[in-house]
Structure formats: structure tokens, C-alpha cells
Amino acid sequence: MSDKGFRLTAPGLDKDGLELEVRSGTLGPDVVSIAPLYRQAGVFTFDPGFVATASCESEITFIDGEKGILLYRGYPVDQLAANCSFLEVTYLLLYGDLPNQQQLDDFLYSIGHHTMVHQSLLRFIDGFHYDAHPMAMVSGVVGSMAAFYHDSMDIDNRRHRDIFAHRIIAKIPTIAAAAYKHSVGQPFIYPRNDLNYCSNLANMFFAVPCEEYKVDPVMSEALDLLFILHADHEQNCSTSTVRLAGSSGTNPYAAIAAGISALWGPAHGGANEAVLNMLKEIGSVENIPKYVAKAKDRDDPFRMMGFGHRVYKNFDPRATLIRDMAHKVLGRIDGVDTPFFDLALKLEEVALKDEYFVEKKLYPNVDFYSGIIYRALGIPTSMFTVMFAVARTVGWVAHWQEMIADPKRKIGRPRQLYIGPEKRDLVPLSKRT
């Protein structure tokens, strides 16, 4: 790598080779612009899973996987978690700076007065079978929002983009709660404008028409922290899905619905549900060695859910904060059974001493402890990934807005390494043996 860039030499290139521009960001690794590769050298790059590929420029979130650093618009996530509310952090991710008091008050008023959904949307929820997975309901309903809010879907209109952002962030808890109520056969509880974002979500989940429900402040505080820590994570699978879907110019509700579907996978946001199911399967501390051995066995498809990360090769800073919150929550909610938490702590201790996990740098990630808190709050396992989606909607919207506002935006269209059959002529059916 010369001081100006990369010089690529290869057969078929002239003797000076091909100069590729190297660009530096504010933080993190430099990037090599590879666009000339195909034009001038006739080759594609090949990077399945995009392990070493930067797909875009972004100002929103920075991760240093080696040092376990996570910054939202430059602010360390632990400082935001200790000093801000989820909607304050939401404002930061959307607009680039923390709000002053007036800006925050205006933002809270706007979000707080857009929490209701069209009554017909609620009839969608009623159309699902009682045992439909809540992620199926939420992704379906969010995609259908394009049928209701087409009055502000001109993606090139800044005002429309802002209206969309406030609408989807305000309504996603209402949709999540409606899916939950449908799954437990209880009546839908309308949002209340006198409650803050997380207390309103808790009330829509757990209130029932036949008696007064008081939101436990511990629940509201725990949800607020969990949502801050799940709000964004640069170009993860679901955010990249939102960017790719959105790059076609489709409406933003369709792009967010695509992100929800990508998040559902157990390798991604579905891991929090998979962790609890794994802990149930492990059952007791005595069984930990057997499951650690299964995780290490290349012939065994079992993976230690909640461990490992594409970027973090050190502790996921969010996992540490969530584990500390789990200690706090479990100690403050009456009657919470803690065997899963005790089992998780022991599993972490055993795994982190095992050379396989150490050598492959597999540490607990954001999903390892979050489900334990959700369970302690009374949220069923099937709703864990929906809770992740409620929080990550903020990051998806911020990245969608950043992409759409970029005058240089292009539709995403990767190429491939074709390994199929050579060109061949068709044999008529009558002659096929």
C-alpha cells in the first residue's frame, strides 16, 4: 500500500498495475475503493457474508470490535445508558446531536401523540391465528402500514421522511403490544399519552380492562436501558437489509418490514429467544460441560447461542451493561425465579475459561442476558425478538434516512462468482431420457 493507495499488479494489467484509492474515515480501518477493479481489470471482489466489505459511508454508529467500543454519533453507549432516556438517544440517532430541553419536549410530544394506529390495522392483528409468532404479525402489520399512510411517502421529501420516522417509532410499541395481546387472547389496550415511551409499552402489554394497572418503575427503567443498547449497531444484517431494500426506492414501511424479517433469524436478533430455549435445554449447571462440548464439536450443529459476534472479538459492551442491569432487576422484582440467570452466569464463567471460546474469541453478546431480563419482567420468550425490533426500528430509520438523503445513492446490486453449467442447448422433452 503506497502512501496514496493500493497498487494492484496482476497478469493482463499493464506494468504499472492498477492504482486503487484508499480512503480514511474519522475512526476505524481505511477502505480501498474497488470500483475500478471490474472496469479496468475485469474482476469482481469476492467476500461472502461481507466479512471485510464496507457497504456505505455512515455518520451514525461506530464499533471497534477489538476494543469493545460502541459509539452512537460519537458518544460512548455506556455514557448514554447512564445519563439519557431512550427517546433522547432516539433523537441523537435521528438528528445527529443530543436535544436541548425544548427540542426534547417537542420530540416527546410528537412521538407521544402518534402512538395510535388506524383501527383497520388492529383488524389485521385479529386476522392472525392465535398461535402466530409475534414476529410474523409485526412484520406483516408494519409492511401493511404503506396502505394506510401513503399521504407522506414521497421519499425525496424531507418533511415526509420526518413524518414517517415519528410515525413508525411512535407506533411500533403499539403494534408490538397488539401482537402480544392477540397471542394471549386478551383485549388490546390503547396507548396512553400521560405515560413515557417505555411505561406506555408496559401498560399496553400488561394492563387489563378489569382492574387498575400500575407500571413498575423497575420495568420502565429496564426497558429504557435495553432499548438504548439495542437501538443501533452500524451495518448489521437487518440494517443492511433495510438499506438494500430502501435503495430500490420502495416505501419506507416496506424497507423496515424487510429489516424485521432479517432480524428474526436465530443468528441475529432471534438469538435472544434462542438463548432462553438453550438455557431451558441445558437445564442445570451439571449439564454445562456437555453443552460446551457440543458447541465445540464441528460435527454437532449446536451453537452456544448468545456467544460470538462478527465484529466484537472482545466483550460486547452492551452485554456487560445488560448483565449488570439483570443483577439489578432480578434483585428488585418480587418472586422472580433466578435459576436461568444463575445458570447463565455459570455458563459464561465456564465458557470463557475454555480454550475453544478463548481461541475463537467468543464472548457473550447483546443477546445473552437480554432475554433473562425480559423473562423476569414477565415478557414471554416469543416476544423477545419483537422487543429487539422495537428498539432497532430507531437505527433502521436513521440508516434509511441517511441513505435516502445521500445525493450519490445508488440501488444496491452485488455481483457473483458463477459456478453453474456452461452454455448448453435445450433437448426437447420427447428426446430426454
Active site residues: 309, 367
| The binder of ligand SDX chosen from 307, 341, 384, 400 (CB under 6 A) | 307
In the bound complex, what is the minimum distance in angstroms from residue 388's beta carbon to ligand SDX?
A: 8
* 369 contributes a contact to ligand SDX by CB under 6 A: no
Instruction: Tell me how crowded residue 3 is: count the other CB atoms within 10 A of its CB.
Output: 5
Specify whether the CB–CB gap between 107 and 115 falls below 8 A. Answer: no
Nearest Cα residue to 363 out of 334, 324, 320, 394: 320
Residue identified by cell 453449467 is 421
In the bound complex, what is the minimum distance in angstroms from residue 310's beta carbon to ligand SDX?
A: 3
In the bound complex, what is the minimum distance in angstroms from residue 77's beta carbon to ligand SDX?
A: 11
* 243 contributes a contact to ligand SDX by CB under 6 A: no
In the bound complex, what is the minimum distance in angstroms from residue 86's beta carbon to ligand SDX?
A: 15
In the complex with ligand SDX, which residue's Cβ is closer, 202 or 389?
Answer: 389
In the bound complex, what is the minimum distance in angstroms from residue 307's beta carbon to ligand SDX?
A: 4
| The binder of ligand SDX chosen from 202, 295, 343, 376 (CB under 6 A) | 295
Residues in region 341-360 near ligand SDX by CB under 6 A: 360
State the Cα–Cα distance between residues 179 and 173, nearest whole angstrom: 10
In the complex with ligand SDX, which residue's Cβ is closer, 173 or 306?
Answer: 306
Mark the segment that binds ligand SDX (CB under 6 A) among 27-35, 134-142, 146-154, 266-274.
266-274
| The binder of ligand SDX chosen from 191, 246, 259, 306 (CB under 6 A) | 306
Provide CB contacts within 8 A for 331, sequence distance 6+: none
- Cell matching residue 386: 419483537
- Cell matching residue 294: 457440543
Q: With CB under 6 A, what is the number of residues at the site for ligand SDX?
A: 23
Specify whether the CB–CB gap between 417 and 260 falls below 8 A. Answer: no
In the complex with ligand SDX, which residue's Cβ is closer, 167 or 230?
Answer: 230
Q: Where are the alpha helices (DSSP H) in 47-115?
A: 77-83, 86-95, 101-112
In the bound complex, what is the minimum distance in angstroms from residue 173's beta carbon to ligand SDX?
A: 19
Residues in region 44-83 near ligand SDX by CB under 6 A: 49
Provide CB contacts within 8 A for 305, sequence distance 6+: 266, 271, 274, 275, 277, 278, 367, 368
- Long-range contact pairs involving 119-128 (C-beta distance under 8 Å, separation at least 24): 120/148, 121/145, 121/148, 121/175, 122/178, 122/188, 125/175, 125/178, 125/179, 125/182, 125/188, 126/182, 128/179, 128/182
| The binder of ligand SDX chosen from 88, 224, 348, 367 (CB under 6 A) | 367
Provide CB contacts within 8 A for 417, sequence distance 6+: 44, 46
Counts of helices then strands in the chain (DSSP H, E): 18, 6
* 242 contributes a contact to ligand SDX by CB under 6 A: no
* 233 contributes a contact to ligand SDX by CB under 6 A: yes
In the bound complex, what is the minimum distance in angstroms from residue 356's beta carbon to ligand SDX?
A: 7
- The CB-side HSE value for 3 (13 A sphere, CA atoms) comes to 0
| The binder of ligand SDX chosen from 125, 366, 383, 389 (CB under 6 A) | 366
Specify whether the CB–CB gap between 273 and 384 falls below 8 A. Answer: yes
- Which stretch of DSSP H or E encloses residue 424? none
Query: Which residue lies nearest ligand SDX, judged by its C-beta?
Result: 308
Mark the segment that binds ligand SDX (CB under 6 A) among 80-88, 125-133, 157-165, 363-371.
363-371
Mark the segment that binds ligand SDX (CB under 6 A) among 52-60, 113-121, 299-307, 377-385.
299-307
In the complex with ligand SDX, which residue's Cβ is closer, 143 or 306?
Answer: 306
In the complex with ligand SDX, which residue's Cβ is closer, 206 or 357?
Answer: 357
Residues in touch with ligand SDX (CB under 6 A): 49, 233, 236-237, 267-269, 271, 295, 303-311, 360, 362, 365-367
